[in-house]
Each structure stands twice: as structure tokens, then as C-alpha cells.
Chain A
Amino acid sequence: MFRAKRRTVVSVAAVAAVLLAAALAVSLTQGSSKATDPGYILFPAGQQPSAPDFTATSLTGSPIKFASYRGRVVVVNFWGSWCNPCRSEAPTLAVLSEQYRSHGVAFLGVDVGDTPANALAFTRSVGITYPSVNDPAYVVTQAFSQAVPITSTPTTLVVGPSGHVVGYIYGGVTYSALSTLISDATVTR
């Protein structure tokens, strides 16, 4: 009968509304307590997103083809000289890049929202010798965002020899977190 149908409808609506309310409440609380602590995220084998291929120019004006890094572990660091956490993590990156050079691990910076003059003055002052892509308009960043959510600067990715992103660090890198990711990319893949 229609009346019975109506009652069913009411109960279905009630359940749906309560579920919706619960889902929204959960997402609200998650939104407010969003973790901002830097940590690293390691992709499980088989679920590693492919790093995009791109061609760009370095801060000094020479061409950089990301495809030419294939076969090596690459640490890709998104940074800007205007960004305090980037300046803080830079000495760690400088040390690790020297330390892993003999292991064949390459480092590549992606300098975003910046001018080459400011960026080069900074890399000189902190002793970073690896190249950086000049990405003032975040074009390279956008390409990488399809694979890994680069929500803020700095973000550091470790790309394995096959061109897949092994894991990433959100926020400033620490020595232990980045060396863990590099070892993982070097040993298992």
C-alpha cells in the first residue's frame, strides 16, 4: 500500500540523512585537525605513480630533460628562495647530495615562484651545487601534481630508476627521513 511505501521512504530518508550528517561531521573534524607535521609518505610497490616527463631550463639557462635521469634515483626538491622552511632544509639537502653522489643518486631542484638571481644567490650562499629548474609559473609543479599532491613548498620527491615516484616528503626534509627514502629507492628498485 502507499502508506507502507511512504513509511519506507521516511526511514530511508532518515538513514540517508544521518549517514550524510555523520560523513560531514567526520570530514569537518578531519579538516580542522589536518596534520601539518612534516613526515614522509612511501608508496607501496605497484602503486607508485609515474613521474611526468618534462623539458625545462635551469636557473643558469641550460636545458634540462627529465628523461635523461632515467635509470638513476633522483631526488626532486620543490623550493623557493622566498620560503623560510626551504632555506632551513637547504643545508641538509646540500650534505645529502654530496654524500649520495658516489651512489649515483642525482638531486634536482625545482625553483618555484622565484627569480634566477635570488635563487642563485641563495644556492651559492648555502653551497648547493646540483642544478635547479627555473619554474617561476609552477608549470613543472603542476605536471608533478598529477602524480603527487604538491600542496605547498617545500615538497621533496624521490623518483626511482624506473621513473616512478617512490615516496615524498611534505614540508622541510630531515636527514633521517630523506636518507630513508633514498635507501629504499636504491635498494629495492
Chain B
Amino acid sequence: MTDVRASQSASTETDAAAPFGISETGPDGTAAGATAGPPAAGAGAAGGGWLRWGWRQLTSMRTALILLFLLALGSVPGSILPQEGADPGGVQQYFAAHPALAPWLNHLGLFNVFAAPWFAAVYLLLFTSLVGCVVPRTFRLAGSARTPPPRAPRYLQRLPHSASYPSALPPDAAAGAAAAVLSGHRFRLRRPDAADPGSWVSAEKGYLREAGNLLFHLALLGVLVSIALGGLFGYKADKLLVEGQGFADTTAALDEFHPGRLVSGSDLAPFSITLNSFSASYQTSGEPAAFHAYITYTASPGASAHSYDLQVNHPLSVDSAKVYLIGHGYAPVFRVTTAQGQVVYDEATPFIPANTGTLLSDGVVKVSSATPSQLGFEGVFVPTAVSVGGTLESAFPAADNPAVSLIGYSCDLCMNSSVSQSVYQLDTTGMRQVTAAPHLLFPGQTWTLPGGEGTLTFVGYKQWVSLAITYDPGQVPALVCGILALGGLLLSFLVRRRRMFVRAVPAASGTGSVVTIGGLARTDASGGFKDEFASLSAELAAADAAAAASRQEREPNNQSETGA
């Protein structure tokens, strides 16, 4: 974000128009406006010149804006096309629907945009561009905040604002009186030196503008670093938890784990959470009214246990991680026994809501240890069962009349694949359907499977919650830096940088002097400097008169023809 405006002719230090704030020259001293073309090739240092030119291009505001635009453009396919991370099923569906196009899109990384190399290249370049701009600029701003005002120019009448008044004081004393006034207004002063030993004062105010600008740039760097911190050291995870169950925050226990680049499993906060019960209340329309997940947690193994009422938008903060309640559903409890009465399955099995309004839910039961055959069931759970034209439907999301409808399958050794499979899907290829029609069960009912395959009991139901666990170490620093950046920006917008110059020369009459004052303000958008200059001029003249009067009192012999 190097300033690409064409710079004015290089200003000398005595020039009143010496640039306020940062210099407008490029980092290597050449005018920034001259960066339009590469350096002339030929000399031995051409390689270095090209490198510098490339670096200047990369860190120019134009490039940063183009990269920012590319980043936004690159995110578009991420929101249009299904993404591997968020919706792997959608990607499979897309492949099935567009067999010719999908592989090409996949080659371009469009199904995993945010991990695609080209996307990484864009944001790394943007990061480099911002850092490369902000760091040198920060040093320039720091330097400019320390720079004293330039010497007072010779001809103050030429400045945008000027005034003049006669003084009874000799030039040095007149300039001194003006200096005292300006100093009282907290101007930073510069007084005559060996190079220009006249009677003058040069004063500047509004350095806070530079401080604000500096704060803005430093805070911007802070935001970048915070975001990087979050990306490198943060993590996101999901966990489905059934009532009565608990889990320790360890990688193997999590259903989904998206660690930052520098996060390993041993970096997880060692807390554990148990879901004691979950209650959902609904309005008569079926709209949810309130969700409460009553949990017990310990911050680390062996620590004391605490109770917490976890609600939507009321997360649990534990060991710097945050735990959110993001979903809920039903987990019917099934017990499967062999024909000999041996229990081969007894578990609350989470079903996934297919209809979020009525919580009609789908799920599968895999009884891999059943004998003589392995058993699998595809089921529908309805919390409030009603029959709509012979079809099982749910009328209400609360469990007022829970029921399950199951289709049973059996097979020999078909579930022994060594490949990990979703516990929510049953691959029925090669399986025999146990009965032709689905079997309806209410709590406590037992289904005796035909062919000596055993029995299945619908014991009852439990509820489950899904939890999102996030840890973002960059969140708080990013917020703080964001606020600081805003504050710095406001300061740099609201504070005007302005200069006042005073020159006193001996009056033509021989006694006293003529004082000329000039004023200059840059970025005086609100136009307030004209009034400030007028009131300062009046104050200077009044102070001068007062000083002359008190001088006359102290030295009555001293003649003064131009009396106050």
C-alpha cells in the first residue's frame, strides 16, 4: 500500500510545504510515482533492481486490492459448489450428476477451495503484500512523528493564511512572546538556529494524527498475526453425545476434528463433558421454544466437576475452548438377542433428523456380532407417531408417542469390511431382507425375527445433542487489534496537522518590529483551520501588546513611540 500518488518536486527542509506526515518517496528514495516501469536493464545490479521493482509492485496498494478482489472471487465457487469439508455427500452427488464436468472441477480444486494451492497462493501473496507495506510504513510513520517542524519560510504572506501586526517589542522579544503563546497551545516549536539566525518561530500541532496512523498500521499487523495465530493454533471439532454418555476431549473421541496447521492431538484442552439430560420445549405449533443440555464437566482429569446448563448461544467456556450446543435429536435404544437369549447389541443408537420440524429421524442399527447371521436394520424414528394414509409420520417434535419402523436385513460376513464406514449408513448390497414389510414397534415391544435370527426390542429412547468445540487463540487479539485499528483510523481522520509560522523584523521606523504570521494546514476538510488561525492571530497580537506593556512597566526609561 505504498502511496502511489505522483510526488511533488522534492521539498527542501525550509519549504513550508515540506510534506506533513510521511514522506512521499518510495522505500529506496526514488519517487513512488516512478514505479510504473521496471528499472532499465543492463548494469550489473540489474538483478537487484528487478527484485526491488518486483517487491515494490507486490507491496503497492493496487496489488493488495487486486489480491483482495481475487480472494473474494476465489471464494465464490466455495459457496456455489459443494465442499469436501462441509458437505462430502454433496460432492458425491455432484460427481454423479455431472460425470463429465466434475473431474475437471476437482482438478482445479474447486471442491475444496479453501485448501486449494491457488487459493493459498493468493492469500499468502496478500499477506506478504500487506506485511511488506505495513512494516516499512510503520517505521516511516514513527520517524515522521518525531520530526520537528520545518524552519519558517521567508515570505509568510504567500501561505494560505497570513496576518501581520506591529509590535512595540524588538524582533527577538516579539518572536519570544509568540512562541510562549503557541507553546501554551501545545504546539511543538522550532526556534532559530545557526543556519537561519533570524527572529522566527515555527510551530506544529496535530502529531496525534501520525500517532493514530501508526496505531492503525500496527493494529492492522496485529489483526493479520491474530488471524494467522487462529489458523495455526486453533481447532474446530464436533461431537455427538447421547444422554448419559460422556467424552474426554481427545482426538479419537471426536466425530470431526479440524485442527490448525500447528495443532497436534496433545494440544487439545484436557476437559471432559458428560451429558446428564437434555430437555427441549416446543410451542404448540411445533416451533422450538428452549433447549437445555444439562452437562457436567471437568476442566482436566482429576479436577472437580461442575454442572452447566448449556443452551443455544450460551456456550461453555472451558480451558480456553468454547463448547456450543448446535443440534439435537433422538437415539432409540435397541436390544438384540440371539435365539438362545444372548445379548449381542444393547445401545442407544443416534438417529439423524430427516425433518427438522417434526424430528422424523433416520438411522441404522448394525448388529455385526449377531449369530447365526449378521443383522442390520434401517429405521425411521418418529417422536409423535401418526398414520397419514397408512404412512408413518411424525406430528410433533416432542416424544409424545414415539415409535420406530424397521426394515431388517441379514447376511453372513458382509459387515466385515476393514474399511471404515459411517455408522449412519448401511450398505445393503448382498443382504437378505428379513421381512417384506417394515416392522412398527412402540417402546417396550419386541420383534421376534423369522428364521431363528433372534429378537429385537425397542427398549425406549434417549436424546442426543451435537456439540461444536472451538478454540481460536486469535479471536480476542483480533478483536482488540480491530478496535485499536478503528481508534487509530478515527484519530488520523479527526486530528488535523497544522503549522504556524511567526517572523519578526525590525520596523522601518527604527523601534519595535513588524510581526508576520502564516498558517498552513493539510487535509483541512472541515475548514476549521481558518477560524483557528484567526483566533490564534488575535491572541498573538494581544499577547504581544500585553508583553510590550509589562516591559514598559518594568523599564519605564525605555522609550516606545508606537505605544500599545
Binding site for B on A (CB under 8 A): 2-3, 5-7, 9-10, 13-14, 16-18, 20-21, 24-25, 27-28, 31-32, 78, 81-85, 87-89, 112-113, 115, 117-118, 121-122, 124-125, 136-139, 141-143, 145-146, 149-153, 155, 172
* Contact assessment for B127 and A17 in the assembled complex, using a CB-CB cutoff below 8 Å: yes
* Contact assessment for B131 and A17 in the assembled complex, using a CB-CB cutoff below 8 Å: yes
* Contact assessment for A13 and B418 in the assembled complex, using a CB-CB cutoff below 8 Å: no
Given A31-B261, A87-B416, A146-B266, 19 other A-B residues pairs in contact with their CB atoms under 8 A: A10-B55, A17-B131, A18-B128, A25-B120, A25-B124, A87-B415, A88-B418, A113-B247, A115-B346, A121-B370, A136-B246, A138-B253, A141-B252, A142-B249, A142-B270, A151-B265, A152-B252, A155-B252, A172-B418
Residues of A within 8 A of B249 (CB): 142
* Contact assessment for B124 and A112 in the assembled complex, using a CB-CB cutoff below 8 Å: no
Q: How many CB-defined contacts (below 8 Å) exist between A and B?
A: 156
* Contact assessment for B128 and A112 in the assembled complex, using a CB-CB cutoff below 8 Å: no
Quick check: is B345 within 8 A (CB to CB) of the other chain?
A: yes
* Contact assessment for A145 and B246 in the assembled complex, using a CB-CB cutoff below 8 Å: no
* Contact assessment for B250 and A138 in the assembled complex, using a CB-CB cutoff below 8 Å: yes
Q: Smallest distance from the beta carbon of A26 to chain B beta carbons, Å? A: 10
Distance in angstroms between the alpha carbons of A149 and B28 in the assembled complex: 50
Binding site for A on B (CB under 8 A): 27-29, 55, 115, 117, 120, 124, 127-128, 131-132, 135-136, 139-140, 143, 245-253, 261-262, 264-266, 268, 270, 272, 274, 301, 335, 342-347, 366, 368-371, 415-421, 423
Q: Pick the 3 closest A-B CB pairs, nearest first.
A: A88-B418, A117-B346, A138-B253
* Contact assessment for B135 and A9 in the assembled complex, using a CB-CB cutoff below 8 Å: yes
* Contact assessment for A112 and B423 in the assembled complex, using a CB-CB cutoff below 8 Å: no
Residues of A within 8 A of B371 (CB): 125
Distance in angstroms between the alpha carbons of A102 and B482 in the assembled complex: 66
Residues of B within 8 A of A13 (CB): 131-132, 135-136
* Contact assessment for A151 and B252 in the assembled complex, using a CB-CB cutoff below 8 Å: yes
Distance in angstroms between the alpha carbons of A155 and B250 in the assembled complex: 13
Distance in angstroms between the alpha carbons of A22 and B28 in the assembled complex: 26
* Contact assessment for B253 and A118 in the assembled complex, using a CB-CB cutoff below 8 Å: no
* Contact assessment for A118 and B369 in the assembled complex, using a CB-CB cutoff below 8 Å: yes
* Contact assessment for A21 and B124 in the assembled complex, using a CB-CB cutoff below 8 Å: yes
Distance in angstroms between the alpha carbons of A56 and B139 in the assembled complex: 60
Distance in angstroms between the alpha carbons of A136 and B368 in the assembled complex: 19
* Contact assessment for A150 and B251 in the assembled complex, using a CB-CB cutoff below 8 Å: yes
Q: Smallest distance from the beta carbon of A164 to chain B beta carbons, Å? A: 17
Distance in angstroms between the alpha carbons of A156 and B54 in the assembled complex: 53
Question: Can you give 21 contacting A-B residue pairs, CB < 8 Å?
Answer: A6-B139, A7-B28, A17-B132, A21-B128, A28-B115, A28-B120, A82-B423, A84-B416, A84-B417, A88-B416, A113-B247, A115-B347, A117-B344, A117-B345, A125-B369, A125-B371, A136-B246, A137-B245, A142-B248, A145-B265, A151-B252
Residues of B within 8 A of A155 (CB): 252
* Contact assessment for B368 and A81 in the assembled complex, using a CB-CB cutoff below 8 Å: yes
Residues of A within 8 A of B301 (CB): 139, 142-143
* Contact assessment for B136 and A121 in the assembled complex, using a CB-CB cutoff below 8 Å: no
Residues of A within 8 A of B416 (CB): 84, 87-88
Distance in angstroms between the alpha carbons of A139 and B265 in the assembled complex: 14
Known: A13-B132, A121-B343, A151-B265. A136 touches B245 (CB 8 A): yes
Distance in angstroms between the alpha carbons of A113 and B348 in the assembled complex: 12
* Contact assessment for B253 and A142 in the assembled complex, using a CB-CB cutoff below 8 Å: yes
Q: Determine the residue in chain B with the shortest Cβ distance to A16.
A: B131
Residues of B within 8 A of A20 (CB): 124, 127-128
Residues of B within 8 A of A5 (CB): 139
* Contact assessment for A2 and B252 in the assembled complex, using a CB-CB cutoff below 8 Å: no
* Contact assessment for B251 and A149 in the assembled complex, using a CB-CB cutoff below 8 Å: yes
